[in-house]
Structure 1
Amino acid sequence: MTREAASPLLTPGYWCERYVYRSVHADRLASWTALATHSPVRAVRLMGADARRVAAGLPEGERQRVLGMLGGPGPIGAMAALQRSEPCGLALDCAGAWVEWSARPVLFLSLVDGAPGTPGPRRAGEPTGFGAPLAPGEDFP
């Protein structure tokens, strides 16, 4: 079923994911998280904001390199791809860890009141978006 032919029970939206691998050559995930939103603009903004949070935990030279890769026309092209019902993504080598973000158009089944991407119940102070910043730990490269 195409996005345009959605029934009243289906709502167009965007599914966003973040995959983190311990290195460029790793074949196992270190972490994964996902979120849903109703807007292609919000999907791209959330990916960019999360990439900036990841970069904030890096040493100065590495942070500047990653932030430099986030500039330019990339966000506009990503939003345009989502508007054309095409997926988009971003992949960065962050101090040895490989981080991939992706967003793709989907149809959500309406099970409860509220638009896709509307936050569900959560504890006070719990972060929204992709979650906590990625910072190297003891066993993280």
Structure 2
Amino acid sequence: MNDLPRGYWCECWTQNLDRDQRPALHASFDAYSAAQADRWIAVALRTISPALDAAASEQAWQWLYEGRVETRRALLRAERCSVMVDQAGTRITWTVRPVTFLPLAHRENVELPTCAYDFKPHATD
């Protein structure tokens, strides 16, 4: 069996802390290196930092200057990481976790197996 590609699954979630709402997924990204994963977070933080209040901006820049190195080290040890910024009652959380990527079958100019046509969608109410 061939070696499956390893990488990192990155997500960005927000949660309204004032209303105690469930977190909502806003973005996801598949990274193939620790550097690519932490760069995804860094680009997002640099992009939004001018719009953040002073405390949230401080959280963002603290991670960019100090926390980023520890995040990269943890990713290289294949550990899950997260970065959080609280802005006006909303928590923004970026998570990164190590994964094994499974390749998908390429379907262009390829006939599907006959069993693919055996499944019919169910009628809805």
TM-score norm. by structure 1 comes to 0.63
Equivalent residue letter for 2:87: C
Change (3 A) 1:45 1:11: same
Flag structure 2 segments of 5+ consecutive residues without an equivalent: 107-125
Matched, 1:110 2:103: yes
The SS at the match of 1:65 is helix
Letter in 1 for 2:47: R
Structure 1 or 2, whichever has the larger Rg, is: 2
| Larger proportion of helix | 2
Which letter does structure 1 place at the counterpart of 2:95? S
Deviations 1:111-130 (A, max 9, x none): 267xxxxxxxxxxxxxxxxx
Q: TM-score, normalised by structure 2?
A: 0.71
Q: Which structure 1 segments of 5+ residues have no match? A: 1-6, 114-141
Query: What's the % identity of the aligned pairs?
Result: 27
Check whether the contact 1:14–1:106 (CA below 8 A) recurs between aligned residues.
yes
Return the alpha-carbon distance in structure 2 between the equivalents of residues 10 and 34 of structure 1: 21
Q: Which residue does 1:118 correspond to in 2?
A: none
Are residue 38 (structure 1) and residue 32 (structure 2) matched? yes
The reply to whether residue 8 of structure 1 matches residue 8 of structure 2 is no
Contact 1:43 1:103 in 2 (8 A): yes
Aligned-residue offset at 1:103: 0.5
Contact 1:22 1:30 in 2 (8 A): no
Work out the CA distance in 2 between the residues paired with 1:111 and 1:105.
19
User: Does residue 79 of the first structure (1) align with residue 72 of the second (2)?
Assistant: yes
Q: 1:95 deviation in Å? A: 2.6
Q: Is the 8 A contact 1:20 1:97 kept in 2?
A: yes
Segment of structure 1 superposing worse, 90-99 or 47-56 = 47-56
Q: How many residue pairs are counted as aligned between the two chains? A: 106
User: Bigger relative contact order, structure 1 or 2, given CA contacts below 8 A and separation 6+?
Assistant: 1
Following superposition, the deviation at residue 73 of structure 1 comes to 2.8
Task: Please give the alpha-carbon distance, in whole angstroms, between the structure 1 residues aligned to 2:33 and 2:67.
Answer: 17
Distance 1:75 1:24 in 2: 28
